[in-house]
């Protein structure tokens, strides 16, 4: 065996080993269906995780709003030791030498009886905020499902195009080999062989570009579901639902009406309007007086360790309670009502209320605009769905005609009754017809998901 043949054989063995290795890796890769991708996306998507945290946050805010109706409770204490000599000269000069322990503490509570419905309005707004967050997360779920489905179907479409590109390249490669043999014996012109070489190169380039697109689409899909190792997973290449919708989807006005009644984001927009109304009422509380009930326990206890007045021990003649009772037993209760009313607050309340009325107006404008957008999206999606049905029928006829034309032209070329350009054009038309067919199928499946997404299903 000469050196050249040895190198060729070695290269072939290495190529075979790498091919087997790639096939083994592909076989060991975890398969991912559309349902798998959606499930993982709903568990790990950044939008879902943040939306879940938003719901938890509104729950915390709701608890805080409930807490405003409860009385507060505060405790304070202060221990002081006083010792030394003090000379009093207000009347008869008196020298007092004392050591005293003083303990002050208080347990105070207050409850709001009326604050212009501030707390009540805040509670209603917090309750509605939690409902709005739950509606928002439902719409986020629908958006994630639609986004993942769209990326998944794109991979399926591009994978099918790769298969057609491989078949097309094989056809060109086989014909190139046949033309090489025919030109060697003078049965075909060299120009046909060179044109076929150019065609084969173009077909190979198309295959390379198609395979690259599949890889990039796969990386994009796996990034959306937060998977960072695409080589460990493979996409199960199945085109989803391509059966036309039933009678419930035949009337676009019914679809629009259904969407307006069930879209979570529309419901959330309505809730935001109610929240704005309660916020206005909350800030209008600044016009009203506030009434609080205050109550608690207070102790000002003291105990003398020494008391000499002008050198005479007064503790010997003055009775004193025991230490514990003197410091902790002198307790009295307090109850009071506090009324406050800010008659003029420099227009702060009015300005805040007016600002929130403007905010409420903008919220209503956004809600109405969303309704218009929903109607327009449904109608456009319905038109695209009808067009997708028509494209399937048209692409079926086109694919059948392209196959028949290619077989006819190929037969004529093989017997020399037509030229290479005509054959090449027929092959290109067949490839385009195959691509059109799979595009029509994927588009129908996608348009059904688009309508469901816009309808809020």
pLDDT score of 1 more than 90: no
- The full set of domain ranges for the chain reads 23-70+115-289+346-455, 73-112+290-340
Chain segment 100-153, per-residue pLDDT in tens: 888 898 999 999 999 889 999 999 999 999 999 999 999 999 999 999 999 999
Average pLDDT of the chain is 86
SS in 3 state form for the chain? CCHHHHHHHHHHHHHHHHHHHHHHHHHHCEEECHHHHHHHHHHHCHHHHHHHHHHHHHHHHHHHHHHCCCCEEEEEEEEEEEEEEEEECCCCCEEEEEEEEEEEEEEEEEEEEECCCHHHHHHHHHHHHHHHHHHHHHHHHHHHHHHHHHHHHHHHHHHHHHHHHHHHHHHHHHHHHHHHHHHHCCCCCHHHHHHHHHHHHHHHHHHHHHHHHHHHHHHHHHHHCCCCCHHHEEECCCCCCCCCCCHHHCCHHHHHHHHHHHCHHHHHHHHHHHHHHHHHHHHHHHHCCEEEEEEEEEEEEEEEEEEEECCEEHHHCCCCCCHHHHHHCCEEEEEEEEEECCCCCCCHHHHHHHHHHHHHHHHHHHHHHHHHHHHHHHHHHHHHHHHHHHHHHHHHHHHHHHHHHHHHHHHHHHCCCCCHHHHHHHHHHHHHHHHHHHHHHHHHHHHHHHHHHHHCC
Does residue 378 contact residue 255 with C-beta atoms inside 8 Å? yes
> Which tokens sit at 333?
């209760």
- Alpha-carbon span 34 to 145, nearest angstrom: 10
How do residues 5-35 score in pLDDT, each as one tens digit? 433 333 333 334 334 333 444 557 888 888 8
**Cβ atoms of residues 64 and 119 within 8 Å:** no
In tens, the pLDDT along 71-97 reads: 999 999 998 988 888 877 777 787 877
**Ramachandran sector of residue 97 (left: φ over 0; alpha: ψ -120 to 50; beta: rest):** beta
Task: Please tell me the predicted confidence (pLDDT) of residue 25.
Answer: 46
What are 359-412's pLDDT values in tens digits?
A: 999 999 999 999 999 999 999 999 998 898 899 899 999 999 999 999 999 888
Which of 8-12, 60-64, 240-244, 251-255 comes out lowest in average pLDDT? 8-12
Which percentage of the chain shows pLDDT scores above 90?
47
Question: Two tokens at 262?
Answer: 């069930």
Please, what is the end-to-end C-alpha distance for the chain in angstroms?
69
Output the pLDDT for position 445. Answer: 87
Task: Please tell me the distance from the alpha carbon of residue 54 to that of residue 47, in angstroms, as a whole number.
Answer: 10
Count of C-beta atoms within a 10 Å radius of residue 264: 18
Higher pLDDT, 18 or 56: 56
Looking at the chain, the whole-number percentage of residues with pLDDT higher than 70 is 93
In sequence order, what are the beta bridge partners of 241?
A: none
pLDDT recorded at residue 23: 43
User: Does CATH place domain 23-70+115-289+346-455 in 1.20.1600.10?
Assistant: yes
Whole-prediction pTM value?
A: 0.76
What was the pLDDT predicted at 328? Answer: 81
């Amino acid at each position: 065996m000469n050196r050249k043949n040895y190198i060729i054989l070695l290269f072939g063995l290495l190529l075979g080993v790498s091919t087997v290795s790639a096939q083994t890796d592909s076989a060991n890769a975890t398969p991912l269906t559309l349902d798998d991708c959606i499930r993982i996306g709903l568990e790990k998507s950044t939008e879902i995780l943040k939306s879940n945290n938003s719901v938890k946050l509104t729950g915390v805010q709701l608890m805080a709003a409930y807490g405003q109706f409860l009385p507060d409770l505060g405790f304070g204490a202060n221990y002081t030791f006083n010792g030394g000599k003090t000379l009093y000269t207000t009347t008869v000069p008196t020298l007092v030498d004392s050591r005293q322990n003083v303990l002050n503490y208080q347990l105070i509570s207050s409850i709001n009886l009326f604050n212009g419905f501030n707390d009540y309005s805040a509670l209603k707004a917090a309750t509605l905020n939690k409902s709005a967050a739950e509606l928002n997360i439902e719409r986020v779920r629908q958006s994630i499902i639609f986004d993942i489905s769209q990326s998944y179907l794109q991979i399926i479409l591009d994978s099918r195009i790769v298969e057609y590109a491989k078949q097309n390249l094989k056809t060109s490669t086989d014909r190139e080999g046949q033309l090489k043999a025919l030109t060697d014996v003078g049965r075909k012109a060299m120009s046909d062989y060179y044109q076929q070489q150019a065609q084969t190169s173009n077909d190979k380039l198309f295959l390379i570009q198609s395979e690259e697109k599949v890889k990039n689409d796969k990386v994009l899909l796996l990034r959306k579901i937060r998977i960072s190792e695409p080589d460990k997973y493979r996409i199960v290449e199945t085109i989803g639902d391509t059966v036309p919708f039933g009678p419930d989807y035949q009337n676009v006005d019914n679809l629009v009406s259904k969407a307006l009644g069930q879209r979570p984001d529309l419901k959330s927009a309505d809730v935001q309007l109610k929240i704005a109304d309660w916020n206005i009422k909350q800030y209008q509380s600044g016009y009203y007086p506030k009434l609080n009930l205050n109550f608690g326990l207070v102790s000002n206890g003291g105990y003398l360790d020494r008391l000499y007045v002008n050198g005479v021990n007064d503790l010997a003649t003055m009775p004193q309670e025991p230490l514990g009772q003197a410091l902790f037993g002198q307790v009295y209760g307090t109850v009071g009502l506090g009324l406050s009313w800010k008659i003029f607050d420099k227009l702060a309340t009015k300005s805040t209320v007016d600002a929130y009325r403007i905010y409420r107006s903008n919220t209503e404008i956004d809600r109405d605009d969303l309704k218009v957008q929903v109607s327009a999206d449904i109608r456009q999606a319905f038109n695209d769905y009808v067009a997708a049905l028509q494209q399937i029928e048209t692409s079926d006829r086109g694919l059948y005609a392209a196959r028949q034309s290619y077989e006819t032209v190929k037969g004529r070329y093989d017997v020399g009754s037509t030229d290479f350009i005509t054959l090449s054009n027929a092959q290109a038309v067949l490839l385009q017809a195959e691509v059109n067919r799979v595009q029509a199928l994927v588009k129908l499946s996608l348009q059904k998901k688009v309508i469901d997404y816009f309808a809020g299903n």
